[in-house]
Amino acid sequence: MLRYVETLLTHMGVNPLEAEELIRDEDSPDFEFIVYDSWKITGRTAENTFNKTHTFHFLLGSIYGECPVPKPRVDRPRKVPVIQEERAMPAQLRRMEESHQEATEKEVERILGLLQTYFREDPDTPMSFFDFVVDPHSFPRTVENIFHVSFIIRDGFARIRLDQDRLPVIGK
């Protein structure tokens, strides 16, 4: 640390031995001049090694700008809520819902028929769940198959269990 201070004083143009005498006599006016002038020299030297900061400018003007005047609020007459009678569902839409349910029931019956045919031919061998429901060419069809098989399982016409490889199989 002492070597650093001596090097710094030498750079400032102060003889370290003279500085020691001036430090002992702090009331001397020469001490303040030498110290101030020395720091000024060191500051100019260090100034070249640091980047200068850019001045600060506001993009939208000064900070203390005027606030925009709020626009007066326009009062509009409020709408009176109308009591709505329960709307009757169109007959055509009811027929469509019924036909959708009928289509689901028919598809479940078709899949149940396929399962029963398989179990009539080989009643002791369970069928792989994935082989039965997965359609490799259509994801939506796979989802529909799982949906329809869930009705068969729910109604108790078949059961799902895990085989020795821990894969789901459909059995009676």
Domains and CATH numbers, the chain: 2-47 (no CATH), 98-171 (1.10.10.580)
The answer for residues whose C-beta is within 8 angstroms of residue 107's C-beta and 6 or more apart is: 144, 148
CA separation for the pair 20, 23 (Å, rounded) = 5
Look up the pTM and report it. Answer: 0.42
Mean pLDDT, rounded, of the chain = 77
pLDDT value of position 36: 66
Give residue-wise pLDDT tens across range 55-106: 777 676 666 667 778 888 888 888 877 666 666 666 665 665 566 677 888 8
> What is the per-residue pLDDT for 116?
86
